[in-house]
Amino acid sequence: MNNNKIKVLFITGSGRCGSTILHDILGQIDGFSAIGELRYIWERGFIRNRLCGCQLPFQECELWRAVVNEAFDSINNVDAQKMFRLTHNFRLYHLFLALFPYSRIKLTSRFKEYLDNLERLYRAIQTSTRCRLIIDSTKDIQYGYLLQKIPMIELYIVHLIRDPRAVAYSWSRKKLFEPDIKNFEYMDQKNSIRSSLQWNARNIIAEIYLRKKALRYMMLRYEDFIKKPQESVKRILSMVGEAEADLSFIKHSKVKINKANHSVFGNLDRFRTGTVELKIDNEWKAKMKILDKISVVALSWPFLLKYRYQI
């Protein structure tokens, strides 16, 4: 390993796959820094000043102030609106264009400033937190693809997969982004068809673009992780070269979240602290509409079989 490189563990998969609790658990390990979904830092942090995982507005968080000053000297020295537009405009279909050498060169050139600023951010996080590993739970495959284009990042990938019926049921529920009663906003909701198509696309494209191109990749089913959290975390630690890390805060099906994370974006669970019981949420089995279940199975059955889920 090159000691000058920035070690980043990137969690990929579909939305609502359980990445937040995995991110929070890994963030409890000494020398690990859990930053949430960094893809959204330009909009949620620089532009809108939404809550950090420590429950302070981004621009009032001591850690993020130190990171921004380290990376850019001042928050005014980076065009956050431009970075947000570049982030938003890089879509999944760009990955197909990247299959062709000419298009790949053009994409790399177009996003050079964005990649340079990302590298400065990750380096500043490493410096400010003095961490050995940064945990990014962005999930988006196209973002993970861009991280692979930053030479100074030593990228590790955990591909987290959850039963698509549980994912579809979760997308159907109304959920808050943040515990902010003055500026509350709800997460997007999706019907079972849209959710299933997205689940299919994200998981298969993750295997094509991240698994086949990454030297350090592991697939993990959410259900297996919840059943055997310590064993699953040990597998991840072995991959990232941190096998000796202390996991005493994980006791069978319970985990102590004592260290607040500084995630810039994610679901409401990122604000959780204290003892958290790990259990598989099977509410969908009883409460999900039968037509929605049928829709998900009809659209996703080849992948249900591939990932060892019962139909």
- CATH code for the domain of 35: 3.40.50.300
**Domain annotation covers residue 293:** yes
The phi and psi torsions of 7 (rounded to 5 degrees) equal -80, 120
> In which band, very low, low, confident or very high, does the pLDDT at 1 lie, cut at 50, 70 and 90?
very low
Q: What is the mean pLDDT of the chain?
A: 92
Q: Which residues, other chains included, contact 236 with Cβ-Cβ below 8 Å and sequence gap of 6+?
A: 9, 26, 158, 218, 220
> In which band, very low, low, confident or very high, does the pLDDT at 99 lie, cut at 50, 70 and 90?
confident
**Domain annotation covers residue 311:** no
**pLDDT reported for residue 264:** 94
Quote the number of domains for the chain: 1
**Domain annotation covers residue 83:** yes
Segments forming the whole domain that contains residue 60: 6-306
Find the range with the poorest average confidence among 31-35, 170-174, 299-303.
170-174
**Domain annotation covers residue 1:** no
* 197: number of Cβ within 10 Å: 13
Q: Which of 126, 121, 133, 124 is nearest to 31 (CA)?
A: 133
Residue 299 has pLDDT above 90, yes or no: yes
The phi and psi torsions of 141 (rounded to 5 degrees) equal -65, -40
For range 233-259, the mean pLDDT: 94
> CA 259, CA 131: separation in Å to the nearest integer?
14
* DSSP per position, 165-221: HHHHHHHHS--BSSS-SSS--BPP---HHHHHHHHHHHHHHHIIIIITT-SSEEEEE
**pLDDT reported for residue 94:** 75
Which tokens go with 306? 């591939």
